[in-house]
Structure 1
Amino acid sequence: MLAGLLFAIHDADDQPDRLAATLPFGGLTLIEYQARLLIAAGAAQIILVVSRPTSELLGAISRIGRRGVAVDAVRSAAEAAEKLHPLARVLMIADGLVTTEGVVADLAGEGGDALLVIPEADAPAGFERVGGQRAWAGVARLEPGRIAEVARLPRDYDMQSTLIRVAAQARAAHVELPIAALRDGHGIEHHAGSLDRRSRTVLAASVAGRRGWFDRYVLAPVARWTLPMLVDRKVPGEGVAAAGGVLGTLGLVGIGFGFAATGLIAVLLATMTLALGATLGDLRDQPRLVIAERVAAVAMPLAAILLFGWAVRAATYDGAPLSTAITLAVLAALGERAIPSASRRAWWGSPSAHLVVVAVSALLRVPMLGLAVAGVYAAMTLADAIERLRRQP
C-alpha cells in the first residue's frame, strides 16, 4: 500500500496570512495538485501535516477526498504515525514543491528509503542539503518506521526536515533528479507570483511527458501558451470539449466533400484541443469529461484517416488507399490499446502522429505515399511495443 505525506506548514512569502500550500495552481490549489500526483502514483491514503486549518485548506482537503482516497489532517509526527497503515510505503512531497507525474512516479515503486537528490551546486533555493554534495529535491520514499522515529523526538522539531535527516542517517538510496526536470518547472515555491509562472511550465511539461514526439514538440508548445490563458479565464472544460468536437466534425465533413488537406488539418487541431481539454478536466476533477475527451482524441484522427482513404479511393477508383487506411487505423488502435502512456518511447507513433504524416502527404498531393508511410510507422511502433512487453518479467 502506498500512502502520501504532504505538508501545509509554511506561509506564502508575499501573503503572510495564507499557507503556501493553498496558493492557486492551475485552477486549483498547490496541495491539491500535489495530491493528484500522489494519487496518479497509486496512493490510497494521503496524510496532510498542517499548521492551522484555514478555510482554503479545509476546502482543498474536501476536494482531495472526492478523488476516492482517505485523507487525514494531522499536526504532528505522532498523529501521522497513528494514521498510517503499518505496512504502507510513504511517499513524501515537500511543502511547496512543484513537479510532474514522472518525477513522483520514479520513487513510487517498491523498496526501502530513497531520497530524490540533485548535485548541491545545481540546487535551487529551498532544497535541503543531505550530505555527499547532494541536496534533497523534494520527494522521498520512506518506511513507516521513520515517522515513528521522528514522533519520539521533541515536537518543536521541523517534521519534514527531520524525516529527511533520519532517512539520510539510515543510508537512504539516492535517486538523481534529471536536470531536465528543472527546465520543466521542478522546484520549491512559496511565492504566489513565482508559483504562477512555474505552474505554466509544469502544466506544459505534463502534457509533453504523457506521450511521444507529437505531444513533446507539437502539443507542448501550444499548451505552454494556451493552458494558462484557459485557466486564468476559467474556461469550462465542457466548452473546450465542445470546441474540439465542432472543429473535428467540420474537418471530417471537409474531407468527405473533397477538401482533404484542410479537413485533415482541422481534425488535427481538434485533436489538440481535446487533449488540452482533457488536461483541464483532470485538474478540475472531471473524470467523465477527461475519459470522453481522451477517447475522442484517439477516435477522431482514426476516423479522419479512414475517411481520407475512402475519399482517395472514390477519386482514383483504386481500392488500395482505403485498404491501407483501414490497416493503418487497426494498427494504430491496437498500439494505443497495448501501450501504457508511462512507458511510451519518444519515437513511437500515435493516432495524432500518424495524422500528421497523412496530412503532409495530402498537402503534397501524394496521398497513397502518406498512407503507406504512416502504415509502416504504425506497424513498427506496435512491433517494438510487443517486443518490449515480451522482455518484461
Structure 2
Amino acid sequence: MTLAALVAAFDVEAGAPRAALPLAGVTLVEHQIRRLASAGAERPILLVEQMAPALAAPLARLRADGIAVKVATSIAAAADLLAAEPRVLILADACLPDRALIERIAIAGVPSIAVVLDLPEHAAFERIDAEHRWAGIALLDGRRIAEVAQMVGDWDPISTMLRSAVQETAARIEVGRDVPVLAGSSEALHAAEARLVAASREAARGWSDRFLEAPIAEALLPQLFARSIQPSLPALLSAVLAIGGGLAATGGYRWLALVPLLLAGPLARMGQRLSLIQARRVPGASWLATARLAGRGLAGLGLGWWLMRGDGQWGWLLTAGLLVGLMAALFAARGIVAWLGDGEDPEWLATPAALGWALLPFGLAGLWGWGLGAITAYAGASFGWTLVRALRLAR
C-alpha cells in the first residue's frame, strides 16, 4: 500500500520559514522529507502559506536526489493531491522525529497519532487531553484531509486534522525515548544536531578507526556543517588522496605518499558520517572505496620498489608483493568468517588504514625497511588468525 506524507511549514523565524533553518549542513525540511522518504513515503507534500525563496534551494537538492517533493500553498491544494491516498504521514511544523519513530507510525493502523506524556519537558507539544500531548507525527488518510479542507479552509488545518482524529479515537502510540525535536529555537537545533551526530556513530572498524580516524572525523563534523559540505566531497577527496599517495610512492616520495594515505581515512569517515546524518547517498561509493584500496596497494608496492632500488635487494619488492597478497587474502578470509556468522572481527586485526598508521613511527625514525617488514608481519599474523578461525567455523 502506498504511503504519502504532508509536512507543515507555516511558522516563520527571523523572516524565513523554520523549515529552512540550517541543521547539520543542510536544512530542517531536508532532514524531515529524507527521513519520511526513507520510511517509504513516495509522495511527500510540503504545505506552506506561500512559497518562500529560502525553500527553493532545499527543494531543488531533494529533487536532484530523486525525491519528488511537491509544494501545496493551501490545504485545498494538498487535499487535491492526497484525497485518494489511504495512508498519509502528517508532520507538524519544525518537528523532527527519529527514523525509528517514523517507521513505527508508518506501519501502524489508520488513524494513529504519536503521543508524549503531558510533562513540563513536553510543554512545546500540543495538548490533546489531560494526560497526553501530540508528538508531532500522525498517520491519517487522504479523505480526512479533504474533509478538513472543506470545513476550515486554511485556518489551522494540521491542528484541525489532529482534533478530528482524536475524536474518532485514533490509536495512540507512546513514543517512549524517541521524543521528536521541535526545532523552534537555537537550543532545540543544537539538540537535534547532537542527536544526529550520536545516531551516526558506528562500531569501530579496527583500532585505527576507533582511536584515530573516527575521533578526527567527529571533531571536524561541526566545521563541515557550518560550510554545508556534501558527503560526496570528503569521500571523493579521500579517494584522490589515496591514489595520489600511491603514485607518489612509486616515485620514491615516501612522505608525500604516507601523509595523503593517512588523511584519506578520516576523510572517508567524514563522508560516511555526513551521508548517514543527512541521509544522502554518495554517488559511486563502491568505486571510491575501491580507489582507496588500489592507492594503498600501489603505495605498498612503490615502497618495496624504492627500497629495492636503494640497496639492490630484490627481497624488498617481494615483501611488498607479499603484503598486498596477504591483505587480499585477509579480505577474503574475513568475508568467509562473516558468511559463517561469527560476529565482529577483533579490533587489533590489520586493515589497510591501520597499516599506514602502524608504518608512521617507523617512518619518523627513518626505518622504512623495518616498517615494511613489520606491517607485512602484522598482515600475515592477521591473516593466519582469521584463517584458523574460518577453518574452525567450517568444521
Cross-structure match for 1:342:
none
Matched, 1:329 2:331: yes
Cross-structure match for 1:296:
288
Cross-structure match for 1:170:
169
Matched, 1:6 2:4: no
- Partner of residue 80 from structure 1, selected from 78, 81, 85: 78
Q: Give distance in 2, aligned partners of 1:48 and 1:330.
A: 47
The CA deviation at 1:226 is: 1.8
TM normalised by structure 2 equals 0.67
Q: Give distance in 1, aligned partners of 2:5 and 2:128.
A: 21
Select the structure of larger CA radius of gyration.
2
2:35 aligned partner, one-letter code: L
Aligned CA distance change for structure 1 residues 374 and 52 (closer, same or farther; 3 Å): farther
State whether residues 125 and 188 of structure 1, in contact with CA within 8 Å, keep that contact through their aligned partners in structure 2. no
Matched, 1:225 2:207: no
Cross-structure match for 1:140:
138
1:21 aligned partner, one-letter code: A
2:243 aligned partner, one-letter code: T
Q: Give distance in 2, aligned partners of 1:20 and 1:29.
A: 9
Cross-structure match for 1:194:
187
Matched, 1:273 2:253: no
Write out aligned runs for 1:146-161 (5 A): 146-155=144-153, 157-161=155-159
The CA deviation at 1:273 is: 0.8
| RMSD of Structure 2 on Structure 1 (CA) | 5.1
Q: Give distance in 2, aligned partners of 1:254 and 1:328.
A: 26
TM normalised by structure 1 equals 0.67
Cross-structure match for 1:48:
46
Structure 2 portions without partners, runs of 5+: 305-314, 362-370
Q: Give distance in 2, aligned partners of 1:224 and 1:254.
A: 29
Q: Give distance in 1, aligned partners of 2:350 and 2:119.
A: 39
Structure 1 portions without partners, runs of 5+: 339-345, 385-393
State whether residues 329 and 383 of structure 2, in contact with CA within 8 Å, keep that contact through their aligned partners in structure 1. no
The CA deviation at 1:51 is: 1.7
Cross-structure match for 2:364:
none
State whether residues 254 and 260 of structure 1, in contact with CA within 8 Å, keep that contact through their aligned partners in structure 2. yes
| % identity of equivalent residues | 25
CA distances 1:178-197 after superposition (whole Å, capped 9, x unpaired): 35xx6xxx511123x33653
Count of residues in correspondence between the two structures: 362
The CA deviation at 1:229 is: 1.2
Q: Give distance in 2, aligned partners of 1:311 and 1:49.
A: 59
CA distances 1:6-59 after superposition (whole Å, capped 9, x unpaired): 1111121xx1x2221122334433223322222233322111111222222345
2:283 aligned partner, one-letter code: I
